[in-house]
Amino acid sequence: MASNVIDEALQQIKDQLMKAAETTSTYTFSPTTRSIFSPENLDEKIKFLVPIDTPLRNRFPRVKGKGQMAEWKRMTSAIHSRMHPTGNVPAGTATQIAFADAGAPNETSQTYSLASAPYKLLGRKLEVGGLALAASKARDGQPDMQTDRERVKMYEVMLGEEELFIAGDTANSSLEFDGLNKQITTNSGNYTGYLTASGIGANCRTLFSRGGDPTILIASALQLQALADDLSSSGTIQQRIIQQQEVSGVTGGFALARLVNPVTQSIFDVKPSRFVGFGALLLTEKSPAGENWIEVDELIPMSRVDVPSTSFSYVSFILEAPVLKVIGEPFQMELTTGL
């Protein structure tokens, strides 16, 4: 029985190596005979892996990339016209919306800047010894070590991508892409300490003046707890009270899941982040017309690449090649806090 399990493991390693490396006439890795790797798309497995600590990766739409870099038009103007020429309203298209009978309406175009960014490789290496892999076959608790380790590495890559979405900075490392903290430049809010409900309301008012309507607030666990305490102490948080006689036991405490925009009356989600640092992000993910204001362009989706090994082990790379695109930049806000 043990011999059959070992043979099966050895055959699996051999099959993976044969599939991963295709050479022209030799087993060297010189440029003229370089191995051709065939990535295995892991999207089907990713669908069942939705960590609570990657809220942005879970939400941002992903589009298929092409070429060596992603290119997009970043909107830098508001969409409204010049109807209210006041300092309280940002500059719009500066054209009249009304037109005369037998005339023609004005043609307008928003102001855009051309943005581009090369795709960046994110990944983790996975190596499992041949003996360990053979020993794990049909074992109670961990029937396939390689599969279990693969899921862990997928999670690691997702966490790394989430961190770059927020704090990626090409000035710090050319291997990274610019994240939200770097790409959002128009709107910013400053708090000397904790986030407050009135402060978030003022931030919503700023975005509303530019045409934004936030759909999510990302902040640290400390800031979200402070915000929940602020709402609770003011008596403005909605709670469902369960009478003691209805159940044999009661659950204490509450979690802040959503906030009401005091300007537009819409409701936006509140999510914690381990990577936002001393600050927060107030984001408008889509336009009222349904356009993506923020999206991920991926040249290589999350994939597994089996790599030839000169040792008795199974080696693979869990990788992807994305870049973050902030298209509707005037409708986003970066918040800085002192804690």
Position 35 pLDDT exceeds 70:
no
CA distance 144 to 146: 6
Position 159 pLDDT exceeds 90:
yes
With a CB cutoff of 8 Å and minimum separation 6, the contacts of 4 are: none
Q: What's residue 271's pLDDT?
A: 96
pLDDT in tens, 119-143: 999 999 999 888 888 887 766 655 5
CA distance 125 to 182: 28
pTM value? 0.82
Least confident stretch, 141-155, 200-214, 222-236: 141-155
Q: What's residue 9's pLDDT?
A: 67
- Eight-class DSSP state of 332: -
pLDDT in tens, 168-179: 999 999 999 999
Number of helices (H), then strands (E), belonging to the chain: the values are: 8, 13
- Listed in order, strand segments (DSSP E) in 163-274 are 188-190, 216-219, 258-260, 267-272
Position 30 pLDDT exceeds 50:
no
Instruction: Read off the pLDDT band of 237 (50, 70, 90).
Output: low
Least confident stretch, 98-102, 276-280, 308-312: 308-312
Instruction: Read off the pLDDT band of 158 (50, 70, 90).
Output: very high
Instruction: Read off the pLDDT band of 26 (50, 70, 90).
Output: very low
Position 59 pLDDT exceeds 80:
yes
Mean pLDDT of the chain: 84
- Assigned token pair, 17: 């190596």
Least confident stretch, 76-90, 151-165, 283-297: 76-90
Position 198 pLDDT exceeds 80:
yes
What residue has token string 């879970």?
Answer: 58
Position 95 pLDDT exceeds 50:
yes
Q: What's residue 47's pLDDT?
A: 80
Q: What's residue 71's pLDDT?
A: 95
Domains in the chain (CATH in brackets) are 2-79+111-237+253-336 (3.30.2400.10)
